[in-house]
Amino acid sequence: MAVTLADVAARAGVSAATVSRVLSGRYPVTEGTRGRVLRAVAELEYVVDGPASALAGAGSDLVGILVNDLADPFFGVLAGAVQGELGGAAGPGGEKLAVVCSTGGSPERELDHLTHLQRQRAAAVVLTGGASEDPGHARALAARLARLAEAGTRVVLCGRPPLDPVGAEGAERHAAHRSGASVAPVTLAFDNRGGARRLTAHLLALGHRRIGCVAGPAGRTTTAERLAGHRDALAAHGVADVPGRTVPGAYDRASGYDAAVELLRREPDLTAVVAANDTAALGVCAALRDRGLRIPDDVSVAGFDDLPFSVDAAPALTTVRLPLREAGARAGRLALGRAVAPPGGVATLPGELLVRESTGPVRSGAAGVGGAGGAVSGGIGSGRSGG
């Protein structure tokens, strides 16, 4: 059964009228009472009906799209592709209104946005990008998504891994007990690990052995997956994973610049750098140029995602293309019930290695331990194609 106002009142030890006064904010209430009520609301995860409560049982025209950063082209492409599927009257449900919610990478804000969307009885919710690795947040997220699905909201994860199995299992059991239905969201995941493995293997094949890594922010699934792929490739080629050759940072240009400066301070003889994404790779390139180093003659640089500017960078970035537009469009169709869910509810979308001018063979005498390596094998994209 859904949590009621009376349940909150009982937990807080006050009357239902007092709970109503606290939640409305229009009546004077002591701070102690207010605190007890708000704690009870949080503990019971009570959802206050919004304006849509007057339309109980009616279909909603609202679709929520959660992104980490509106200014990041990665999320802009995904959200734009989702929204592009929501317009027009064709298909079931007709046109929908997209509401894009930026979390700023905050797990708490992610949960808050989901609560607001539940209050508005959103028809669908699409969560994009990596997730927090914190187990407590994973459980809270699974429970929040289970309640949304139980209320009839379609939930799609786009560009992030499936829900944590432990947290999702507990949430599903709870919701299934109440509704008798499965509530696992549909997941469109990116093969970040496989893409990063191919990217680092490309550099190793060019003879690079002293490879710096500008990783993403700690505690995010995307960071962990891409770093794991980088390390997979090093291990497969017998190259040591030197801790000092990895520097964490945000997915932005400034972090890429600062991380490259730190990597060069630690090891001036690096011959290549792989960056967490294309935006950070631009910062790496700028830091190298400011120190008089040529790309790729002195240091090769590679990014990830194949963001729109990557092919026009100077030199054009070697990167891993993720099918951002295709994934976003598919997520939009799934959110509207206009596409069939993949088998098991999960699809993993591969990345494509695009070799461009920012990477080249290691300079003579700089191959380090393990030798110069082989040439790039055929079948890999090259030049400016596929930008």
Q: Report how far residue 353's alpha carbon sits from residue 303's, in angstroms, rounded to the nearest whole number.
A: 10
The lowest-confidence range among 144-148, 167-171, 215-219 is 167-171
pLDDT in tens, 220-238: 999 999 999 999 999 999 9
pLDDT of 94 reads 62
Instruction: Look at residue 304 and tell me whether its pLDDT is greater than 90.
Output: yes
CA angle 334-194-168, nearest 5°? 45
Cα 233 to Cα 286: distance, rounded to the nearest angstrom: 26
DSSP assignments along 4-36, one per residue: -HHHHHHHHTS-HHHHHHHHHT-S---HHHHHH
Of the listed ranges 129-138, 153-162, 371-380, the least confidently predicted one is: 371-380
Work out the pLDDT band at 367, boundaries 50, 70, 90: very low
pLDDT band at 98 (very low <50, low <70, confident <90, very high): very high
We find that the CATH architecture of domain 1-46 is Orthogonal Bundle (1.10)
* Residues 6 or more apart whose Cβ sits within 8 Å of residue 181: 149, 150, 175
Per-residue confidence (pLDDT) for residue 96, from 0 to 100: 86
Query: At residue 106, does pLDDT exceed 90?
Result: yes
Instruction: Give the residue, 331 or 39, on which the prediction is more confident.
Output: 331
Provide the β-strand partners of residue 213. 246, 274
Element (H, E) at 67: strand 62-67
Beta bridge partners of 188: 158, 347
Q: Tell me which of 180 and 326 has the higher pLDDT.
A: 326
Of 72-86, 296-310, 323-337, 372-386, the least confident: 372-386
CATH of region 57-190+323-350: 3.40.50.2300
Distance from first CA to last CA of the chain, Å, rounded?
52
Structure confidence by residue, pLDDT tens digits, 70-93: 899 999 999 999 999 987 544 455
Tell me the pLDDT of the chain averaged across its residues.
85
SS (H, E, C) 236-284: HCCCCCCHHHEECCCCCHHHHHHHHHHHHHHCCCCCEEEECCHHHHHHH
Which of helix, strand or coil describes residue 102?
strand
pLDDT surpassing 70 at residue 132: yes
**The pLDDT of residue 48:** 60
Measured from the Cβ of residue 131, the count of other Cβ atoms closer than 10 Å reads 23
Lowest mean pLDDT of 45-59, 118-132, 197-211, 240-254, name the range.
Answer: 45-59
Question: Does 57-190+323-350 match 1-46 at the fold level?
Answer: no
Q: What is the pTM of this model?
A: 0.78
CA distance 253 to 68: 16
Q: Tokens at residue 219, please? A: 């505690």
178 has pLDDT over 70: no
Query: Is pLDDT above 50 for 143?
Result: yes
Q: How far is CA 164 from CA 66, 142, 229, in A?
A: 18, 8, 20
C-alpha to C-alpha distance for 223 and 250, rounded to whole angstroms: 10
Percent of the chain residues past pLDDT 90, beyond the cut? 65
For residue 257, pLDDT beyond 60 = yes
Tell me the fold of 192-318.
Rossmann fold (3.40.50)
Mode of pairing for the β-strands spanning 352-354 and 319-321? antiparallel
Which of 71-85, 106-120, 198-212, 361-375 shows the lowest mean pLDDT across its residues? 361-375
> How does pLDDT run across 260-272, given as a tens digit for each residue?
999 999 999 999 9
Instruction: Show me where the domains of the chain are located.
Output: 1-46, 57-190+323-350, 192-318
With bands split at pLDDT 50, 70 and 90, how would you rate the model's confidence at 371? very low
Taking CA atoms, 336 is separated from 62, 153, 194, 218, 331, in Å, by 11, 10, 30, 34, 9
182-235 pLDDT, tens digit per residue, is 457 999 999 999 999 999 999 999 999 999 999 999 999 999 999 999 999 999
